[in-house]
């Protein structure tokens, strides 16, 4: 299989990444929360400085597409006016923190994530995609989200810090959690984890750190459903993509006070009730929410196939979860899927129960033949 170039870093606002449709500028919301004013500023900036497209990422970030080198400085100024980016690219790159979307001011998640963010400069030198999940609510929600060190509750309700890939972790308190996170990070670096890039790969090869105590983590619950939630309405977006105009209209009509991002291509509008419309997913049975797809060609320079039309065609036709990837990087879904379609040289390979980077079961299908092949097999 032809391997696509996997970037060794993720884009930011100060350090964007060039793609097929221009610069990708990623905003990392602090504690996954944007005020209504910040959301409207992002919506306006998407049109003023980019293509108008906004995306939600699998790390609960927000990114703008179609930004040009000439428009990027003006975009940075606009984002700084609304306190949306950090002071320097190094701190921005380290801010890979996902939090449970239902945190409340002053609770365990808020306190731990706030301290971790404040002390990011104390971390050892880590791979740029290395990240953290602070999931200290009553029931963990982020078990399937991409993270290397996790703060969560175990089956007994104890607060633990756990390496991704390890079944056990160390019992901590709110005051000792960040210190334990740093201990795991130092262990990762000192035992050669940088060459593995991610904690799970390091654990798979070398086993968990000896400091881990036998405290089992909780099993992963289902993704929070669309509709009402403890803090507001949950909306979905097909492939995590929508226009700034559509989001601005929803924010205004719903009178939401803030937006919480999630790693599931969904968002929560604080204090808002669900409003029906065509721009976002509100029906829990809508089949499109069970299909993952990257931007594909021509939006991504690594992709050789268009992805979204096929993804829409497969929604509701295939009963299993489907991942349509423009190349072998698998940016839209890092986890395994029952069916993964991988673009290669203008055609599709098919991986059963695997990732986009895995060896395919079938190779070289024309896009027009994929649906019928899946129906027959």
Closest CA to 300 of 323, 324, 327, 322: 327
Residues 232 and 211 in one domain: no
Residue-level pLDDT at 361: 92
What's the CA gap between 352 and 178, in Å, rounded? Answer: 39
Q: Let me know if residue 279 belongs to a domain.
A: no
Instruction: Kindly report the pTM of this predicted structure.
Output: 0.89
Q: Let me know if residue 203 belongs to a domain.
A: yes
Q: Let me know if residue 95 belongs to a domain.
A: no
Q: Let me know if residue 201 belongs to a domain.
A: yes
CATH at 235: 3.90.480.10
Q: Let me know if residue 10 belongs to a domain.
A: no
Print the domain residue range for 355: 287-376
CATH at 330: 3.30.413.10
By the 8 A CB rule, do 371 and 313 touch? yes
Mean pLDDT by 10 residues, the chain (377 residues): 48 85 94 97 97 94 96 96 86 88 96 96 92 92 91 90 90 96 95 91 87 64 82 94 96 96 95 86 90 90 90 87 91 87 93 92 90 79
Alpha helices in 83-196 (DSSP H): 89-94, 108-118, 177-190
Residue-level pLDDT at 11: 81
Q: Let me know if residue 243 belongs to a domain.
A: yes
The alpha-carbon radius of gyration of the chain (Å, integer) is 20
Q: Render the burial of 65-89: b for 16+ CB within 10 Å, e for the rest.
A: bbbeeebbeebbebbeebebbbeee
């Amino acid at each position: 299989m032809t391997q696509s170039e996997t970037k060794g870093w993720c884009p930011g606002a100060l350090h964007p990444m060039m793609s097929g449709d221009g610069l990708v500028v990623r905003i990392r919301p602090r504690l996954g929360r944007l005020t209504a004013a910040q959301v409207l500023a992002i919506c306006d900036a998407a049109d003023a400085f980019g293509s108008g497209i906004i995306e939600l990422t699998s790390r609960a970030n927000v990114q703008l597409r179609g930004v040009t080198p000439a428009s990027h400085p003006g975009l940075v100024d606009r984002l700084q006016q609304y306190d949306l980016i950090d002071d320097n690219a190094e701190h921005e790159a380290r801010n890979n923190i996902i939090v449970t979307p239902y945190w409340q001011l002053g609770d365990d998640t808020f306190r731990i994530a706030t301290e971790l963010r404040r002390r990011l400069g104390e971390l050892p030198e880590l791979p740029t995609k290395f990240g953290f999940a602070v999931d200290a609510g009553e029931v963990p929600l982020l078990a399937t989200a991409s993270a290397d060190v996790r703060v969560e509750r175990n089956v007994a309700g104890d607060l633990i810090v756990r390496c991704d890939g390890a079944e056990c972790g160390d019992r901590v308190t709110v005051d000792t959690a960040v210190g334990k996170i740093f201990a795991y990070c130092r262990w990762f670096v000192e035992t050669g984890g940088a060459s593995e890039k991610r904690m799970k790969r390091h654990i798979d090869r070398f086993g968990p750190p000896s400091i881990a105590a036998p405290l089992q983590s909780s099993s992963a619950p289902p993704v929070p459903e669309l509709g009402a939630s403890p803090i507001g309405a949950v909306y979905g977006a097909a492939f995590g993509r929508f226009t700034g105009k559509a989001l601005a209209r929803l924010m205004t009509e719903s009178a939401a006070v803030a937006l919480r991002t999630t790693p599931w291509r969904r968002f929560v509008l604080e204090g808002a009730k669900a409003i029906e419309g065509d721009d976002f997913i509100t029906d829990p049975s809508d089949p499109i929410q069970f299909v993952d797809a990257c931007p594909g060609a021509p939006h991504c320079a690594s992709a050789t196939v268009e992805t979204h039309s096929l993804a829409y065609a497969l929604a509701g036709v295939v009963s299993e979860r489907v991942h349509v990837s423009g190349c072998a990087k698998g940016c839209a879904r890092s986890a395994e899927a029952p069916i993964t379609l991988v673009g290669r040289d203008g055609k599709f390979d098919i991986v059963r129960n695997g990732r986009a980077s895995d060896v395919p079961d079938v190779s070289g299908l024309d896009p027009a033949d994929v649906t019928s092949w899946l129906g027959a097999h």
